[in-house]
A and B are shown apart, each in its own frame.
Chain A
């Protein structure tokens, strides 16, 4: 009879997080069967992906879309911008954050604040879409 040692099963496979509460001597933890993966904002925002970048917003023109002065935005460069998306773009070489829009075949950059009128992209303007905003993060003053 030949015996093949298989080695420890699952070695190198997925490792599961162990919850850090101690194992009680008497009763097994009722949570032990419900261990799940840890929550990770890195994963949610995908900020470790090579095409995802962070930027900081200065100004109040996107307030209506929930992006305030000082907020962080998560920017994805691999997405193709569609009309309706909030984008980071270079308009005549200046980086800006606006909503990309189209009306009657004219491309427009919309603010989300009535103080700022829509900006029509005209001939002679140079618009380069840098990336699409996927999330934003705000500091509520207790960090």
Chain B
């Protein structure tokens, strides 16, 4: 019976970051908005009305004048705000449907199998509820498979005025219309390379892919593309994954807010990234056995000498102790650092992750002392209650000039009591 009569929805926030910036700024309802990536580097989000003026990924310093000319409002990425608004949106969706897979910060799959009544109407109900309670506009695509739901959602967005943001293609006639009118490159899971390959086989629309012979696809490409093609015909191959599997690697990397030439601030930065990575490690209750640290200079300025290097440190036992990890990472920086370069970025990667109890070491292998577990438990509890960074290792500074540049940051309207939205009473 699996796969029969299933119904999925993909609910996706429109220009999510830009929409979040608008929630507490009614004055920006009709102003085009762009959001810059970490360190105010390049554009990572645009409101609809900013799209004609700005390309995705455009470096900020190159387009400054164009933005000013068109009155586009610029923001640094405010992840505290986006994370909080995302949680609100997802909680509302979860309260309305039987099962949800939160797919990313701004999209979620929902299982609508067996929901009574007209699904387009239900889609509109979700859309209205999310908008009323958060101010974030969403699009809803409804279909018998996840791949088709994604496509329906894409159509809802593309033909916003026509569809009111909700498209249900459970009806094969509608489904075929969408398949015929969608470029194969727009199909979920088809990348630019794959698109080029497919086009040489005369597969140009989503319909062409749906009608292609699954066996040929599997032989020529992979089972993944075969599954995509089957999903396009309405046979569900991808289920809802409700619980996110534990990550195999955890990365924390960031550009410095300015170029660094001395070793001390680089050590501080690396210790800070380790702190964040170790927090994520403990949040998924894993231990790690290896840590890789890499540092590099800028890569694009022809005037500057280039250097990039990484070091892998094997830890004495699988651990989640930030003190041990920091010690290893700082030692790695000692080995990697060469004077005379202008460093721009560091990366910390926790590798060889395992769940406690899932691995068997030999009888005499050392394991993490119980006291370390206790200390880490207290550390996380304190930081959860009093805010991130309240309790930290001595290598992590309270404030530093190499921190990310975020000059155009909006307020953390929903997450900091001293940064709340201010409403005038006069």
Contacts and interface: CB of A to CB of B under 8 A. Distances in A.
B121 interface: no
A121 interface: no
Nearest to B414: A53
B133 interface: yes
A56 B422 contact: yes
Contact of A90 (B26, B92, B420): B26
Interface stretch (B83-91, B106-114, B197-205): B83-91
A93 B27 CA distance: 4
B80 interface: no
A57 interface: yes
Contact of A55 (B27, B87, B91, B420): B420
A90 B25 CA distance: 9
A51 B26 contact: no
Given A50-B134, A130-B26, A96 B423 contact: yes
Contacts of A77: 132-135
A14 B207 CA distance: 52
B47 to A, nearest CB: 15
B88 A95 contact: no
Interface in B64-90: 87-89
A62 B424 contact: no
Contacts of B92: 50-51
Nearest to B133: A51
A61 B26 contact: no
A73 interface: yes
Interface in A74-99: 77-78, 88, 90, 93-98
B29 A93 contact: yes
Contacts of B422: 55-58
A72 interface: yes
Contact of A59 (B89, B91, B414, B425): B425
Contacts of B425: 57-62, 67, 69, 96-98, 111
A90 B26 CA distance: 6
Contacts of A93: 26-27, 29
Interface in A100-143: 111, 116, 128, 130
Contact of B423 (A56, A60, A116): A56
B26 A72 contact: no
A116 B426 contact: yes
Contacts of A88: 423
Task: Give the residue among B29, B135, B426 with the most A Cβ atoms within 10 A.
Answer: B426
Nearest to A60: B425
Interface in B393-426: 413-414, 417, 420-426
Main secondary structure of the interface of A (DSSP, over half): strand
A119 B309 CA distance: 65
Nearest to A78: B133
B413 to A, nearest CB: 8
Nearest to A96: B424
Contacts of B135: 77, 130
B421 A50 contact: no
A58 B423 contact: yes
A88 B23 CA distance: 13
Interface string A29-49: 000000000000000000000
A88 B420 CA distance: 14
A95 B132 CA distance: 17
Contacts of A130: 26, 135
A92 B107 CA distance: 31
A55 B421 contact: yes
Nearest to B91: A50
A93 B91 CA distance: 28
Interface in B348-386: none
Contacts of A90: 26-27, 29
A59 B426 CA distance: 5
A128 B88 CA distance: 21
A81 to B, nearest CB: 11
Given A77-B133, A94-B27, A54 B421 contact: yes
Given A50-B89, A51-B88, A93-B27, A56 B424 contact: no
Task: Give the residue among A50, A56, A94, A130 with the most B Cβ atoms within 10 A.
Answer: A50
B262 to A, nearest CB: 42
8 nearest A-B residue pairs (beta carbon): A90-B26, A59-B425, A51-B133, A50-B88, A59-B426, A93-B27, A50-B91, A61-B425
26 contacts: A50-B133, A51-B88, A51-B132, A51-B133, A51-B134, A53-B414, A54-B414, A54-B420, A58-B423, A58-B425, A58-B426, A61-B426, A62-B425, A77-B133, A77-B135, A88-B423, A90-B27, A90-B29, A93-B26, A93-B27, A94-B27, A94-B424, A95-B24, A95-B421, A130-B26, A130-B135
